[in-house]
Chains A and B, each alone.
Chain A
Amino acid sequence: MTDLASISLTVNGERISAQVLPRLNLADFLRDHLGLTGTHVGCEHGVCGACTVRANGDIVRACLLLAVQVENASVQTIEGLSDSGEVSDLQAAFRDRNALQCGYCTPGMLMAAQDILIHEPQADREQIREHLSGNYCRCTGYHAIIDAVEATARARSEQAR
């Protein structure tokens, strides 16, 4: 009954098929089976946000999702967003504003930050802070991170004009 299950999904645009144990979570599947180690594993109970990825366009906690649950889903990780250039301005802003520090929380922060920039492009600092409230930075670089996201929001809205 605890046999391997077959799953098939798209990861960063690439079709993937695999055999997994039901207990395997999506974060470990991405890291250990696919070698996509940009998705970080912090607390493994949904508190820290380091494992944030996109599933069918929505940000989710990869540690709170079983690999068997993403059958047929489209998953995007930080590698996908980075390689496509989708978050290159955000990444540059993080670097410019010293919002990286140790970098452990950064992939999850970028996933969550890009999510609010898409859904609330005019977000103010308070909204950005609230949206990122589910992501821990143990270097406590929160202000610099909010600065970087706010700067990106402004730059994008000016570009859109």
Chain B
Amino acid sequence: MKASAFSYARASSVVDALELLARHGDQAKVLSGGQSLMPALNLRLSAPELLVDIGAIDELRGISVASGVLRIGALTRHVDVLKSAEIAKHAPLLTEAIAHVAHPAIRNRGTFGGSLAHADPASELPACVLALDAVILVRSKDGERRIQAADFFTGIYETLLASDELLVAVEIPVAKPNAVHFFHEYARRKGDYAIVGLAASGILSGDVLTDLRLGYFAVGDKPMLATATEHLTGRPVTASMLADAQAALDAELDPQEDQQASVGMRRYLARQLMARCVSALLERPDLETKALA
């Protein structure tokens, strides 16, 4: 299908973009890479009156590190995140996750901030920023807000972004020397949206995880940080601790059924991902085998 008619404005700066958003509010949509917005327009799931194209605003692009914080500009393309040595060093979870975001031709256009603002519950990056305890920077004409990733996502395609606000950057604490990470998703085709996925980040001290953040995606209406991790941290993990954590995970999940998977299948895959994650982070293959027995 073709997109319905809309007007188009190419913003020349952040100030210009915020001016346009303040004036047109709900009638306008921000166009960054367009890799989620264009399908929505072509399928006529969305029909804004105006597209505000921020693609030419160079100040929104780029990756930098200062004072222990990694900053990723909203317009940084997936391919640039994937190839960045700084990301690989300071947030290797992202390097691994981005390889699963769609396909090369889409990663050449899609942007980091666009993916977060779009907030598809089955997409990889929202779960990653939860696991990495990121802060999302949004700006309007009235100033800048800093929103914790854990608060940012509110529902299917819904975030705390107001219609006159622009997501400008994401700040992530740089990985500590004993930080570990895990990423895996089940998808029908490499690059498709996940059936169930997990982006995890933790701190390993000897054979004990002292911290563990499990960002699940495609298990509900938004990415979810599992609290079941309390069963897995602070002491060496046993098979029974893992079973307790899996039971607790089951209780906090509220997955939906769709053409790809039933509720039961999603719960099963989420439990399996937990076992795979913990056994990989601790290098304990015995845990995964026991969990599946």
The CA of A61 and the CA of B102, in the complex, are separated in Å by: 12
Which B26-80 residues have C-beta < 8 A from chain A? Answer: 31, 34-35, 38-39, 41-43, 49-51, 53, 55, 79
**Chain A residues with CB under 8 A of B5:** 2, 21-23
A66-B109 contact, Cβ under 8 Å, with A1-B49, A134-B102: no
Answer whether residue A39 sits at the interface, using C-beta atoms and an 8 A cutoff. Answer: no
Interface digits, A18-37 against B, CB 8 Å rule (1 contact, 0 not)? 00011101001000000000
Answer whether residue A58 sits at the interface, using C-beta atoms and an 8 A cutoff. Answer: yes
A131-B104 contact, Cβ under 8 Å, with A2-B7, A46-B39, A69-B34: yes
A64-B2 contact, Cβ under 8 Å, with A133-B189, A134-B103: no
Closest beta carbon of chain B to A126's beta carbon, Å? 10
The CA of A69 and the CA of B31, in the complex, are separated in Å by: 10
Answer whether residue B108 sits at the interface, using C-beta atoms and an 8 A cutoff. Answer: yes
Check B55–A59 contact: CB distance below 8 A. no
Residue of B nearest to A135 (CB): B103
Answer whether residue B268 sits at the interface, using C-beta atoms and an 8 A cutoff. Answer: no
Interface centre among A28, A65, A69, A135 (most CB of B within 10 A): A69
The CA of A52 and the CA of B51, in the complex, are separated in Å by: 23
A65-B191 contact, Cβ under 8 Å, with A2-B7, A112-B104, A134-B102: no
**Chain A residues with CB under 8 A of B8:** 5, 22, 66, 68
Answer whether residue B280 sits at the interface, using C-beta atoms and an 8 A cutoff. Answer: no
Answer whether residue B6 sits at the interface, using C-beta atoms and an 8 A cutoff. Answer: yes
The CA of A60 and the CA of B55, in the complex, are separated in Å by: 15
Complex partner residue of B190 from A44, A59, A61, A133, CB under 8 angstroms: A133
The CA of A71 and the CA of B2, in the complex, are separated in Å by: 20
Check B191–A133 contact: CB distance below 8 A. yes
Answer whether residue A115 sits at the interface, using C-beta atoms and an 8 A cutoff. Answer: yes
In which size bucket is the chain B interface? 20 to 34
The CA of A7 and the CA of B183, in the complex, are separated in Å by: 42
A60-B1 contact, Cβ under 8 Å, with A45-B42, A46-B38, A133-B190: no
Answer whether residue B161 sits at the interface, using C-beta atoms and an 8 A cutoff. Answer: no
Interface digits, B1-23 against A, CB 8 Å rule (1 contact, 0 not)? 11111111010000000000000
Answer whether residue A145 sits at the interface, using C-beta atoms and an 8 A cutoff. Answer: no
The CA of A22 and the CA of B38, in the complex, are separated in Å by: 12
Interface centre among B1, B8, B43, B51 (most CB of A within 10 A): B8
**Chain A residues with CB under 8 A of B39:** 45-46, 64
Complex partner residue of A23 from B4, B106, B109, CB under 8 angstroms: B4
The CA of A71 and the CA of B55, in the complex, are separated in Å by: 11
**Chain B residues with CB under 8 A of A68:** 8, 10, 53
The CA of A2 and the CA of B191, in the complex, are separated in Å by: 35
**Chain B residues with CB under 8 A of A52:** 105
Closest beta carbon of chain A to B36's beta carbon, Å? 9
The CA of A33 and the CA of B247, in the complex, are separated in Å by: 59
Residue of A nearest to B109 (CB): A60
**Chain B residues with CB under 8 A of A28:** 2
Which B148-201 residues have C-beta < 8 A from chain A? Answer: 189-191
Which A41-85 residues have C-beta < 8 A from chain B? Answer: 44-46, 49, 52, 58-61, 63-66, 68-69, 71
Residue of A nearest to B3 (CB): A23
Q: Which residues on B are within 8 Å of A, measured CB to CB?
A: 1-8, 10, 31, 34-35, 38-39, 41-43, 49-51, 53, 55, 79, 102-106, 108-109, 189-191
Extra contacts besides A28-B2, A46-B102, A130-B190 (12): CB < 8 Å: A3-B7, A21-B5, A23-B3, A25-B3, A49-B103, A49-B105, A63-B42, A64-B35, A66-B38, A112-B104, A112-B105, A135-B103
Show 22 A/B contacts (Cβ-Cβ < 8 Å), sorted by A.
Answer: A1-B50, A2-B5, A3-B7, A22-B8, A23-B5, A23-B41, A25-B2, A44-B1, A45-B38, A46-B35, A49-B105, A58-B105, A59-B105, A60-B108, A61-B35, A64-B34, A66-B31, A68-B8, A112-B104, A115-B104, A131-B104, A134-B102
Closest CB pairs A-B (n = 3): A134-B103, A22-B8, A45-B39
